[in-house]
Amino acid sequence: MKTNHKHISKFLSLILRHDPDKIGLQLDQNGWADVSELLAKAQQQIPKLDINLLKEVVENNDKKRFAFNEDVTKIRANQGHSIHINLGYQPKQPPEFLYHGTVSKFMDAIREKGLLKMSRHHVHLSEERETATKVGARRGKPIILTIRSGEMFRNEIDFFQSENGVWLTDHVLPQYIEFK
Ligand code: HQG
């Protein structure tokens, strides 16, 4: 991602997932912000941000973090929120196994309590080991945990998939994690 885009992506993550109030923005109950309101209110922080640049950032984002509605009057983050909104994703059957990338300092707590959502809405899981490796590597030497998501699903635990392909669930108990 271009440096310029990365800076704007981080700014959008902050205001659309965690702190819309930082620029006095309102999100609706499904996490949508009004595009023209966002552009007007972001002026002070990022003066060059206009609709064309915003579209470029959304379309070229390395992880498809944001989405517009059909007529491009609204924008939201696809996942990763800490503020309470309802993304409206429907429960969905996950693959038999999913992966979670973490680091060794969290392992004792994970063995004891399983994977917790911490400050986000959900625990985030990946279909590909490679993606989980990248997620873990943000914090140090990655440890990849295999999650028995098929078994969880058969035990009636809900899974959701965000628009950008991330698998979401509420909590992964230790019994569903393969510790090696
Ligand atoms: C760990 C990024 C102690 C968990 C990424 C993780 C992802 C525990 C951290 C997305 C624990 C939470 C999400 C427990 C879990 N005790 N630590 N019981 N259970 N943890 O950032 O999954 O760039 O909230 O292993 O690419 O790392 O933002 O979650 O290390 O897709 O779009 O607590 O964020 O995407 O960290 O990352 P996070 P995550 P974006």
Q: pLDDT tens across 42-83, in order?
A: 998 999 999 999 999 999 999 999 999 999 999 999 999 999
Residue 72 structural domain: 3-77
Does pTM surpass 0.90? Answer: no
> Is 53 inside any structural domain?
yes
Q: pLDDT tens across 5-41, in order?
A: 999 999 999 999 999 999 999 999 999 999 999 999 9
The protein residue with its alpha carbon nearest to ligand 1, atom 6, reads 102
> Is 87 inside any structural domain?
no
Greatest distance between any 2 Cα atoms in the chain: 51
Alpha carbon of 125 to ligand 1 centroid (Å): 9
Q: How many domains does the chain have?
A: 2
Q: Which residues of 141-175 are buried (b: 16+ CB within 10 A; e: fewer)?
A: ebbbbbbbbeebbeeebebbbbeeebbbbeebeee
* Same domain? 123 vs 72: no
* Same domain? 63 vs 133: no
Give the number of the atom of ligand 1 that is nearest the alpha carbon of residue 134: 26
* Same domain? 55 vs 104: no
Percent of the chain exceeding pLDDT 70 equals: 100
* Same domain? 63 vs 108: no
Alpha carbon of 10 to ligand 1 centroid (Å): 16
CATH number, domain containing residue 15: 1.10.10.970
Q: What is the pLDDT of residue 179?
A: 87
Percent of the chain exceeding pLDDT 90 equals: 95
* Same domain? 68 vs 9: yes
* Same domain? 11 vs 64: yes
Residue 180: pLDDT over 80: no
Backbone torsions φ then ψ of 106, nearest 5 degrees: -95, -5
Residue ranges of E strands in 49-159:
66-68, 74-77, 98-102, 123-125, 143-147
Among 9, 17, 65, 106, the mutation site with the greatest number of ligand 1 atoms within 8 A of its Cβ is: 106
> Is 171 inside any structural domain?
yes
